[in-house]
Amino acid sequence: MSHEAISIFDMFKIGVGPSSSHTLGPWKAAQQFLYSLEAKNILQEVQSIEVLLYGSLAKTGVGHGTDIAVQLGLSGDDPITFDVNNITAKMNDISSMKKLLLNGRHEIDFDPKEDIEFLFTDSLPFHPNALTFLVNLHNGDGFAETYYSVGGGFVVKEGAINDSKTEVVLPFPINSAEDLLHWCIRTGLNVSEVVMENENAWRPEAETKKRVLAIWQVMKECMYRGCHTQGNLPGGLFVKRRGFGLNKKLLQQRSYHDYDSWVNAIYQGGNDFKYILDWVTCFALAVNEENASFGRVVTAPTNGAAGVIPAVLQYYIIFCDGNTEEKIIRFLMTASEMGCIFKKGATISAAMGGCQAEIGVSSAMAAAALTECLGGTQKQTLMAAEIAMEHHLGLTCDPIAGLVQIPCIERNTMGAIKAITACQLALQSTPDFAKVSLDAVIKTMWDTALDMNSKYKETSDGGLAINIPISLSEC
């Protein structure tokens, strides 16, 4: 059976905000381009580099920090480890000196204003998120390489599109929800157990568990940081951060000193419906306010939708007795497989499918994960994902001023609440009587994406982006 093998660590990537497709993807593309230069043994021969940004990358690139990401990538910096507090200083140095240290060791002349070109009216056919690196060598030769940021931090090099089909042979190959259910029924395993068996094809189980917990560590650090940082978001919209104030209000002066004691302080507040609802909102706001501030986040499945899964997982940990390592691993395993199925059957790129491809997918991932962790059957788990996506169909991506702030941050709160509702509905339902399957809703999502006008696909050419009196030039 032909299948695309996608690991949980492909779906959940540690990186820097504000966008997985417009920030993390171009950053990784620049890194891959450096690998190409090194492989050709010509990095030291580079005289100049010009970067061309096409389509959606051009139209919302400034708001998403695409130009910043490219420069950091070409400098040889890693989005997993680079100190985000140094971004501004490094950009100022490159801009003022008009020099770039290629891969950290070969200095070239580089003026961001001249050497990064935003081609607002040009788009390449394979994907709207395209960028080309043009190189001139000292001997007069030149060459170009084009990359596509296809969503969630995934990058495809032109001419190597089929490389996405990995050679890893999984014991349970999965392309669709039907495939997943087949293996669950045949083996009696839950979704998370099927995922773990597949992950064992890449590495020992102990290593996988350790890395999954490291993913959660970044998520919870991001959430905690967002709940304790105040001020306005960068970019010129002067959006006030709300996670800080809501966190302070809900805690009512209960004391704590770190993440664990914070969780305990939240738990002490009780389980009133409105109280829980406010906390889920707070968790999601906090993550995406960090994302909008070039903070360290985890694609879940994208940066713009990074708050949904941490918010729902935090809800499960605090209010549903989910605070054990095994339960957290199970949650993230299940969530990742839902994201993989959506990527294979449709898209996780807003530039291809609108916000249904980001918030919709993240909500479906969280709904399925919560359902399995609360004792749902395999069919109920898939049903929860279907319900969550069904009620995100057609959701547009129309960021004001090209920034991942309005309506993106609040949409994460909506996605988280819809995930919890979808879970509860699935747990109280009999999937055998359901009229809509997960595969059917994925196909419908893709059909909708194909029909959707491009102005609603992360271009800031439609929707809220043109009905709020703020222009990119002001930001």
pLDDT of residue 166: 52
Residue 4 has a pLDDT of 84
Q: Please, how many CA atoms are within 13 Å of residue 290, restricted to the half-sphere of its CB?
A: 33
Please give the pLDDT value at position 63: 86
Domains of the chain: 8-164 (3.30.1330.90), 177-474 (no CATH)
- The percentage of residues in the chain with a pLDDT greater than 90, rounded to a whole number, is 91
pLDDT band at 161 (very low <50, low <70, confident <90, very high): low
Token reading at 432: 């055998």
What are the φ/ψ torsions at residue 277 (nearest 5 degrees)? Answer: -60, -45
Burial of residue 105, with CB atoms counted within 10 A of its CB: 0-12 exposed, 13-18 middle, 19 or more buried: exposed
How many Cα atoms occupy the beta-carbon half-sphere of 341 within 13 Å? 32
Q: Are 149 and 21 in contact (CB under 8 A)?
A: yes
pLDDT in tens, 1-44: 467 899 999 999 999 999 989 999 999 999 999 999 999 999 99
- Is residue 163 predicted with pLDDT exceeding 70? no
Give just the sign of the alpha carbon dihedral 77, 80, 85, 91. Answer: positive
For residue 475, what pLDDT band results from cuts at 50, 70 and 90?
A: very low
pLDDT at 165: 46
- Percent of the chain at pLDDT > 70 equals 97
- The per-residue pLDDT for 57 is 92
Interval 208-243: pLDDT, tens: 999 999 999 999 999 999 999 999 999 999 999 999
Is pLDDT at 178 greater than 70 in this prediction? yes
3-state SS record for the chain: CCCCCCCHHHHCCEEECCCHHHHHHHHHHHHHHHHHHHHCCCHHHEEEEEEEEEHHHHHCHHHHCHHHHHHHHHCCCCCCCCCHHHHHHHHHHHHHHCEEEECCCEEEECCHHHHEEEECCCCCCCCCCEEEEEEEECCCCEEEEEEEEEECCEEEECCCHHHHCCCCCCCCCCCCHHHHHHHHHHHCCCHHHHHHHHHCCCCCHHHHHHHHHHHHHHHHHHHHHHCCCCCECCCCCCCECCHHHHHHHHHCCCCCCCHHHHHHHHHCCCCCHHHHHHHHHHHHHHHHHHHHCCCEEECCCCCCCCCHHHHHHHHHHHHCCCCCHHHHHHHHHHHHHHHHHHHHHCCCCHHHHCHHHCHHHHHHHHHHHHHHHCCCCHHHHHHHHHHHHHCCCCCCECCHHHCCCCCHHHHHHHHHHHHHHHHHHHHCCCHHHCCCCHHHHHHHHHHHHHHCCHHHECCCCCCHHHHCCCCHHHC
What mean pLDDT is predicted for residues 127-143? 94
pLDDT at 386: 98
pLDDT digits (tens, 9 = 90+) for 51-99: 999 988 998 888 899 999 999 999 999 999 999 999 999 999 999 999 9
Against a cut of 0.85, is the pTM above it? yes
Span 275-286, pLDDT tens digits: 999 999 999 999
Could you identify the residue written with the tokens 């010129």?
236
Number of alpha carbons in the 13 Å side-chain half-sphere of residue 168:
18
The one-letter code for the residue type at 344 is: K
Pairs from 161-169 (Cβ < 8 Å, separation ≥ 24): 161/126, 164/4, 165/2, 165/4, 165/5, 166/4, 166/5, 168/5, 168/201, 168/202, 169/5, 169/201
> Which pLDDT score, from 0 to 100, does residue 309 have?
98
